[in-house]
Amino acid sequence: MHTYDRLFIGGTWTDPSGKDLLDIRSPHDRSVIGRAAQAQPADIDRAVAAARHAFDEGPWGRTTPAERIALLRRFDELARPHDDRMAALVTAENGSPVWFTRALQASLASQFNSSVRAAEEFGWEETLTPSAPDAPFRSVMRREAIGVVAAVIPWNAPTSSAYGKIVPALLAGNTVILKVSPENSLSMGFLAELLERVGLPEGVISVLPADRETSQYLISHPDVDKIAFTGSTGAGRRIAAIAGQQLKRVSLELGGKSAAIILPDADIEKALQDLRFASLLNNGESCIAQTRILAPRGRYEEVVEGLKMLVDSLKVGDPSDPGTFIGPMIRPDQQARVREYIRIGIEEGARLVTGGPQVPEGLEQGNYVTPTVFADVDNSMRVAREEIFGPVLVVIPYDDEDEAVRIANDSEYGLSGGVWSVDEEHALAVARRIRTGTLTINGAPIGYDGPFGGFKASGIGREYGAVGLGTYTEYKTITI
């Protein structure tokens, strides 16, 4: 049993304003695995005040990029030996299979290093070349920290989301309040323990689990200068409205309903093995999941049957078992939501290939969903248009390449996607036509040096690398 009865505010463990602790329950069997204090508005006020003071008057605002890089490297060195413990905590809280949480922890080194490389090469201050050689002045362009950052992250991949925000924000010289989901109180409490050991100045970082109402209080706080949010599109719209009203800087990484385009010449067997991860990683609770499978009509049944065999072969069960590929949904309400979408797909007339709304036999004590594949899906159906956030795939036929591109682009989202073909240049040409922020060809992994984010309702702004670092800075021009 893990217990966090205090809150990490400004680098110090502090008694919370509320006395009650939240029970953290296992998605596998709904048993209580820990308890944790939850932040209230009064705790937010303390965290923001500490961050404001640290930025405006403390030593943090006078640090150099090299000094900040050294401190963040210390954090990474402290964290790396604890990857297995962190993975186990996230698996226990989220129901994410341990193969996934371990792989995600291993990838944090690349994610971290891309941010540090960007900071080392970043144009923090540059002298601009005047438009005329005899100009009686010169201009200096600076990139400076924005101020106090409210970083609000989701529950589905908390460590990766936390790294994606606090590392570039701190490297740029901002102070940060990291608002985490109540479900992740244990893993993010452990993250706070690691941050405590780094030696950051007082007030620079807070880690606060809190509910939606307290989250809204944080992002609306007048002393917060920037909001960095990852989560649902609906929540993103509300945050964008608040940011617009207050003229806060804002970046939003939101939902997706990404398409996987299997071209007629593709290696179907390889494409299906790639889709095991691209479409079903983290129990389908992934914003980048490619859940619309677009298959050429001439090979349609081959794809449908292959997906059925693939999904039926995946082990569903205890997420702490290394042999499990799909674990439970995080909460009972998410389980009910996904099962309702499966019923909707049946009512809409889609062909149920495998799965269904029933709970997997023997797993009734947890938040489990039977992995499901629908065929003969029209792109106008709700199961093809709305983000389900669970292990539900739809297979949509197309007649020619132009139709495949139209279907892929016929979505309010534009976050991710994939193209499969034996001709890589042809696949690249198709990928260029898709209105989405990130695409992979033939199952290639997504890297961390390029920008990550979405078109349309999938967000505003980008994360990772130099572009992601830049979203935590303001331009200043000084003319001399």
Q: Is the pTM of this model over 0.85?
A: yes
Q: What is the 3-state secondary structure (H, E, C) of 1-63?
A: CEEECCEEECCEEECCCCCCEEEEECCCCCCEEEEEECCCHHHHHHHHHHHHHHHHCCHHHHC
Domains along the chain? 2-254+457-479 (3.40.605.10), 259-447 (3.40.309.10)
Tens digit of pLDDT for each residue in 375-399? Answer: 999 999 999 999 999 999 999 999 9
Give the per-residue pLDDT at 96. 98
pLDDT of residue 133: 77
d(CA 407, CA 428): 17
Would you please indicate which residues are annotated as catalytic (active-site) residues?
A: 253, 287
Q: How far apart are CA 221 and CA 215, in angstroms?
A: 10
pLDDT tens digit sequence for 237-276: 999 999 999 999 999 999 999 999 999 999 999 999 999 9
Specify the pLDDT at position 130: 83
Residue 132 has pLDDT above 80, yes or no: no
CA quadruple 12, 226, 334, 434: dihedral sign: negative
Q: Which pLDDT does position 163 carry in this prediction?
A: 97
